[in-house]
Each structure stands twice: as C-alpha cells, then as structure tokens.
Amino acid sequence: MPNPDTPACECRWFERAVADDSIPVVFDELMNEYHLLHHNGRGHLLFYHCPFCGGRAPKSLRATYWTEVSMEESVRLHALTKDIRTPEEVFSTFGPPDQDFEFGSGCTTPGSQEEAPETTLGPRRVVYKSLSETADVHVLIDRYDRLKFSFRRRYIGPKRSNQADPGTQQSAGA
C-alpha cells in the first residue's frame, strides 16, 4: 500500500517508462494507475511508489468506482444473516437470488493410466443485490450445505463529468 507520508514522485520515471517500448509499464488512464505487465501479458502489478526515486505514484481512482459500505450497514447485514444456517433458510428468507453460480469454480486433476481425471467443483455462490443500497450479499454454499456470508461493495463505475450535481451544470447556451 502507498505510504501517504511519502512525497509524490517528481522524477517522471513513470512517464518515461510508458514511452519506452522495452519497459513493460503501462498507464491505466481510467484508474489513474501505472502497472508493471507480467511477462506473459496475462496480468499486472500496481505501482504504489516510483522504483527510481521512491516517490508516491499518482492517487488511484479505483476506490471511486465502488460504493462504501458503512459500519452501520455492515452490522445491519450481519444481524439480518446471523441466524440463517441452511440454504433453505436463505431462500425462504430472501427469496430467489439475483445471481446463482451453481459452481463457483472447478479444478480437474490429470488422470493417469491407473486413475481417471478427477474434477472438484467449488462452492455454489448466490448473490442478493436488493438487500442493501450499498452492498451485495454473497452466500457461499459448500457441498455440506454450510454457509458463508460476505457483504461486498457494489461496482458503480467511474464518475464521469456529465454525472455532476444538477445544480452545478451549466446550460449549453451559457
């Protein structure tokens, strides 16, 4: 995580790195972040500080793309779910989910001459979006019907300039 006490980078290494095709650094304009690309192109690492001068990288806009779940809302959702113990109770209490991922993930082990390949499926995940204005309620249901609740911030996307408060917008003729 970035150290807020560190002064911002002023050596311009980030800009030079992005301009140099031999350095696998890219700038994500939407998030206002610099990333180091993985050698296979299938991932990246976020820079928090300049590797040359140690200065702080630009402030990311990532947090502005998600709602904030207040402590009060988290406590309310916990109270709402704390006595629910079975999948049947989840569905009878909240109704059908907004999303139902029957298999959360899967893993297949390779077979051999002696044994067939084995596939292990991850837990079922159901999502409720209407239980909170700021959080989605995720419920993992494992193969023994044990539940795990989590309350996740909701993606709201970037705040664009045309989403300004109506009182601050000027008419086109002004």
CA distance linking residue 30 with residue 54, whole number of Å: 24
- For 163, what's the count of Cα atoms within 13 Å in the CB-facing half-sphere? 5
Residue with the two structure tokens 């159901």: 126
Instruction: Give the chain's radius of gyration (CA, Å).
Output: 23
Indicate whether this model's pTM tops 0.85.
no
Position 164 pLDDT exceeds 70: no
- Helix or strand run (H / E) with residue 17: helix 13-19
What contacts 24+ positions apart, CB below 8 Å, involve 121-125?
123/148, 124/100, 125/99, 125/100, 125/101
CA distance linking residue 16 with residue 21, whole number of Å: 10
Residue with the two structure tokens 């590797």: 51
Q: Which two tokens stand for residue 49?
A: 């500080």
- Residue 13: the pLDDT is 97
User: Residue 66 has what DSSP assignment?
Assistant: B
Give per-residue pLDDT as tens, 23-75. Answer: 999 999 989 999 999 987 788 999 999 999 999 999 999 888 999 999 999 99
Position 148 pLDDT exceeds 80: yes
Amino acid at 49: H
CA distance linking residue 35 with residue 50, whole number of Å: 11
CA distance linking residue 135 with residue 154, whole number of Å: 5
Which of the given ranges, 39-53, 72-86, 147-161, has the highest pLDDT on average?
72-86
